[in-house]
Amino acid sequence: MVSIHLPQLIAMKGLCIVLTTLLLPLVKAGLFTSQTNDSVTTELLVKEHGYPFEKHTVVTEDDYILELHRIPYSARANSSSSSGPRQVAFMMHGLGVSSSDWIILGPNYSLAYALSDAGFDIWMGNARGNTYSMKNTKLSSKSSEFWNFSWHEISVIDLPAMINYVLEFTGEKQVRYFAHSEGTTNYLVLNSMKPEWNDRFKSAHLMAPVGFISHSTNIFLAIGSPIAGQPNPIREILGSFKFKPSKEIALVLKELTCNFSLPEQFQVLCGNTLFSLTEFNEDSANEEYISDIMATTPSSLSINQYLHYIQEYRSGYFRQFDYGSIRNLVEYGAADPPEYNLTNVKGPVFIYFGEADKYVTRPDLDRLIENLPNSTLAGLYAVPRGNFDHLAFLYAKDVKKVNDKVLEDAKSIK
C-alpha cells in the first residue's frame, strides 16, 4: 500500500490542476477523446431497457422543483401484471449523482430492476441541484442563493416532500427505503430531526452509510480538511455555489493518472478523476456500461454538501452545518452546531458495507451502530469481497450478490 502524506497530496493535486490547465486545449483539439454521450438520461435508459417510466415533480416548502422517476411495474416476462397495488420502494442516490445510478447497469445488474422484477413499485428521488432538480419557482440556478444548502436541507425538506408525494399518490402508508452514501445520510438526519417520520418507513436498506467519517482515508477529504474543514473568512466571501467537476478535466486527469507510466504515487488519483470524490477502483467496474456511467456522472451539487462532509471528517462529529461560532449563535443558539440525535432513529435498518471503502471505514461504521438504539439494526452485511469499495454498490461487476442480499432482507419484513 502506498503511503502518502498530506503535503504530497496537496502537491500532486496542484500539479494535476496545472497540467489540466495546460492540456485542456489538447482535449478540445481532439487528442483526448471521450466516448460519453451527454444525451443519456434515466428516462432514456429505462425505456431502452424495456421498462415503463413515469416522471413526477414535487415542489418543496422552499420552492425547489424536484423530479421523481418511477418504474411502476416490471415489463419482464413472467413478472406479475401491471394491475393492483404494489409495495413502494423509494430509492435515494448519493453525493453528486442522480436516479440514473439505480438503473445504469441494466436489468441484469441494477437494484431498481431487481426490485421491480420482485413486484415493487419503484420511485427514485432526485435531490435539489442535481441534473433533474435544477429549478426553483423563485430562484435562478445561476444565483448563489439557489445553491445555499447542504445535505441537511435535502434531508429535512426534500426527502419528506418526495416521500409524502409518493405516499399520497399511491395510497400506501409506508415505503421501503433504499439508499447509497449521501442518501443514507438523508435517512439518518431526517429521522434524527423528525422522529415521527420513522413510522413512514417499513424498512431501510443503507448501502455504505455515511454518518461519522473521521477515520476516512479518502484523499479528497484529507486535502480539503485544512482548507475548508472549518469556517473561515474566505469561505464566507465565496458564499454558496454550484459544484460540478468538468468531464473534460476528468478526462485529462484520467489519461494522466491512469493510462500513462507516471510514478506509483500518482496512481492513487486514477479512480478519483474518473469517479469523482470516492476513489472507486475502475478495474471493478462493469466495463460494458462505462460510457453510460461517464455520461450521467457526476451530477451537479452545492459546494456546501461537500463542505459539510469535510466538516464531519475534521470535527469527528455527526452534526449540522458549521457556520462559525458567531453565526452558529444566531442559527442554533450555541457556538457549536448541534449533533444529530441518532437515538431517535428506529428500525428495522439493514446496513451493507465494503471492507475496502475508503470513505466509510469500519471504525466509523461501528461508531454509527453504537449510537443507534439496539433495536434499530436488523442486519449487518459485509460484502464478501476484500476490495469492494464505496461505488462498487452501484457499478461493480459483481454487484448482483449485494442486490440479492438487499432483496432478501426487504422480503423478510412483512
Per-residue pLDDT tens digits for 320-330: 999 888 889 99
223-227, 267-271, 393-397: the lowest-pLDDT one: 267-271
> Residue 15: is its pLDDT beyond 70?
no
Residue 118 — pLDDT band, cuts 50, 70, 90? very high
pLDDT of residue 13: 43
Between the alpha carbon of residue 35 and those of residues 59, 249, 253, 394, the distances in Å are: 35, 14, 15, 20
Give the chain's domains with CATH numbers. Answer: 6-412 (3.40.50.1820)
Q: Residues for the chain: how many in total? A: 414
Q: Cα(9)–Cα(20) distance, rounded to whole angstroms?
A: 16
Percent of the chain at pLDDT > 70 equals 71
Among 182, 213, 177, smallest CA distance to 317 is for: 213
Q: Cα(22)–Cα(371) distance, rounded to whole angstroms?
A: 48
Q: Cα(151)–Cα(145) distance, rounded to whole angstroms?
A: 15
63-67, 201-205, 223-227, 286-290: the lowest-pLDDT one: 286-290
Beta strand spans in 93-195 (E): 121-124, 135-136, 175-180
> Residue 54: is its pLDDT beyond 80?
yes
Give, in degrees to the nearest 5, the angle at Cα 409 between 403 and 412.
140
pLDDT of residue 246: 47
Per-residue pLDDT tens digits for 71-92: 999 977 554 555 567 899 999 9
Q: Cα(137)–Cα(128) distance, rounded to whole angstroms?
A: 12
Residue 243 — pLDDT band, cuts 50, 70, 90? low
pLDDT of residue 274: 42
pLDDT of residue 245: 52
Catalytic residue set: 181, 390
Enter the DSSP assignment of 178.
E
> Residue 311: is its pLDDT beyond 50?
yes
CB 136 within 8 A of CB 146: yes
* Report field, pTM of the whole predicted structure over 0.85: no
CB 272 within 8 A of CB 100: no
34-48, 102-116, 148-162, 394-408: the lowest-pLDDT one: 34-48
CB 158 within 8 A of CB 128: yes
Residue 386 — pLDDT band, cuts 50, 70, 90? confident
